[in-house]
Amino acid sequence: MVLLENSIPFHAQIFLRGNPSRRGMEVPAEFLDLLPGDPVPLEHGKSRLKMARAIVSPENPLTARVIVNRIWAHYFGQGLVETPSDFGLRTKSPSHPKLLDALASRLYREGVNRGSLKDLHRLIVTSATYRQASHDRPDCRRVDPENRLLWKMNRLRLEFEPLRDSLLAVSGQLDLSIGGRPVDQLGSDWNPRRTLYGFIDRMDPPPLLTTFDFPNPVSSAAERSETTVAPQALYLMNHGFIAEVVSRLMERPDVVSLGDPVARIERLFEIILGRLPDDEERQIGLEFIGEQADRSRWEHYVQALLMTNEFAFRD
């Protein structure tokens, strides 16, 4: 399916006081004149292309700022401008206006990285600001309690897609192949493909996704809402997919081969939480497993680790 322009161009007219019977002046087809720069006329037959070029033109800094702000919000939980779809005069000013302009200019600068989102991602994730810990600093919190000046990394909960991918990753069976047709990932069959490739019916999104704040795909959503409700925890407690993840994790060669309970607990911590347990956590694990360490006890222990905030949040 493609879009074609009408053979006879449509000429819009102003309706005086909204009355279609009272027609005012004709409105020429041109780019928004409220944005900086001279209005760009949109000639018939190429209006869509010229509109697209005007939107991404370096003379229109709004587009670059919006892109940078949304990418920033993805990494830090909140954009440099708090309202990702509103850069108007009545919104709050950016927390770091010079940084926003510098990143927007970098996105549109001349050179091999012009328009490169990968370059922008790389710059952010290698910065000292992004690599900060999430530990509290009382002296900074007194001055900036909302952390708008980013004196620490915001602790952010994983959305459903990275949460599901993380579960597949610890099972050792995450499919990292790129491309292909969308697949049903929420059915009863095991499917290790990244959640990015899940099939979405725009008119009827799965209830599981909406439980985890998946936005309505029918309309545009600048950011996701964040709720904490019981069905989210119940999914990690009772869903068949979680049981399959636990079972496959326990069957990993680097887990099965460890007969010593302490060594196995340490390996599970490394796989799931990316660190070794401290003495207290190690003791709690041994007490939970007990002397009769059957597979059922180990699976319950693994599921308990998967339900910790440390697994579901990124620091």
Measured over the CA atoms of residue 71, residue 76, residue 77 and residue 80, the dihedral's sign is: negative
3-state helix, strand, coil in the chain (%, to 5): 45, 5, 50
pLDDT of the residue at 9: 76
Q: What is the pTM of this model?
A: 0.82
Lowest pLDDT segment from 8-12, 264-268, 272-276: 8-12
Residue 45, pLDDT > 80, answer: no
pLDDT of the residue at 267: 96
pLDDT above 90 for 61: no
The pLDDT of residue 225: 87
If you average pLDDT over every residue of the chain, what do you get? 89
Counts for the chain of helices (H) and strands (E), in that order: 14, 4
- Region of 213 (left: φ > 0; alpha: ψ -120 to 50; beta: rest) is left
Which candidate, 179, 190, 185, places its Cα nearest to that of 200? 185
| Mean pLDDT of all residues in 201-214 | 89
pLDDT > 60? residue 5: yes
Amino acid (1-letter code) at residue 282: R
Q: Is the pLDDT of residue 113 over 80?
A: no
**Using one digit for the tens of pLDDT, what is the confidence trace for 135-150?**
999 999 999 999 999 9
pLDDT at 99: 95
Residue 112 has pLDDT above 60, yes or no: no
Higher pLDDT among residues 69 and 186, named by residue: 69
At 38 the pLDDT is 67
The pLDDT tens digits of the residues spanning 116-134 come to 889 999 999 999 999 999 9
pLDDT bucket at 272, cuts 50 / 70 / 90: very high
**pLDDT band per the 50, 70, 90 thresholds, residue 36:** low
Average pLDDT score over residue span 268-283: 94
**Helix, strand, or coil here: 45?**
coil
Q: Is the pLDDT of residue 110 over 70?
A: no
- Mean pLDDT over 153-178 rounds to 93
Q: What is the pLDDT of residue 37?
A: 63
Q: What confidence tier does 299 reach under pLDDT thresholds 50, 70, 90?
A: very high
